[in-house]
Structure 1
């Protein structure tokens, strides 16, 4: 299998999505990719167990992409070997009435992972500089002081929002949250084929919404705003990775590999040593249990 360096997918300088391919050849069969993914997720699971015991770091995985990009299936396949206690997935939909009574980051803050755990955001706080840019009228529902009409939503407003997101990620990073952000880069033709499959297969019909076609009609706008968001918020402590996603199996391998490589760089994540007061009496505790009468 072809080895794709995760660093080559990381955004470290301004990118143009049009210049990045939505497909990449790993030179491997689907069976080989499944085998590789299985190895990666087993290593991730074992590492998470150690991180849980270490109890100093948490991990935030952010997944963004156009409709049908494969976010749900990627989560299922990459994290399926994890102990259920070690990973929590949040899928952020249209804000509720309660959520709109707070600032736009509130619902994401309260969903952040505890120390020792992974949190996976399926759609993220970036929806607030993506969907709301394509549909700025949504901002009016946030009831923000000074924003009374679409005309009040200026470029300065968006720049402030990018600053707020960067500050939010910097703050949680400095307090022990490891952040990795993945844009599942899907081709427009591939999306068309996936939408057709949803319509052609009865068991997948429920996934289709006429709104999918409406949003597809704004494809170029979404690509423009994704590109801007990625360029303005990919930082060393919270990097974006652009993942070619026309092939779902390939995307899963690339994401799992990037996560594992990042986690292996953090060398102080170790299993905690047993307290000396306990370790000195291990033999005694064993003897007590072995002689216990039930």
Structure 2
């Protein structure tokens, strides 16, 4: 059974069409990255999953349930971190987390909550009003994780955190996955998505334009290959290979190539040449993401 199954999801705010037919399928136990700039439809999609807003059309199944028919059960089995978490400023961190736990019928193990707070360097006795934006974000992360939910829906989970805390949150997500949870998270920090996600979806103007494994995206995209040769050669045969373009030539002993798609034809051609050195520059997920948006 899928953790998330969405077909034809549409949502408009007046004349603004936020979602134009979103289709998604997220396997149980995977970490799934949801990519897109502000206004692309990420937050609207997540809110529809929890029945916090109602879509205009389409179907949603979360852990096999319809969130419109059984929202309480869906939310009880889910850990949700909104993009903007509102907390009672007069409460301490501990009081706020106890309130979240009471709403979940006391399902959280409080020793686990303390361990989370220690790992994120968060003082449970501080009042919310005295916390920095980053520390408020830590409260949000803890409340999403504290009851060990089956599904985590996280909207920008590392927003406002310093690099050390970002890495710690990513470790917590991997640990949640190791315990059987499914993690669905949106992020602007593409390097962290690349580090932890199994697959990603790229959403553009309310439509999913790509869903793929990270490795497949990187494999499919354009690479730059710098070849240093022991002696001058004719580079024209290389430029006639499928997907290969010669960008620079230096005395026919140093070539900069652009390769799109399969590297195998180029590797076989280079095997017949006096190659002294070979450098392959792989694109980052950010470059691939920008490529989709430039299109």
For the aligned pair, the TM-score class normalised by the smaller chain equals under 0.3
Which of the pair is proportionally richer in helix?
1
Q: Rg: which structure is higher? A: 2
TM-score by length of structure 1 reads 0.28
* More RCO (CA 8 Å, sep 6+): 1
Which of the pair is proportionally richer in strand?
2
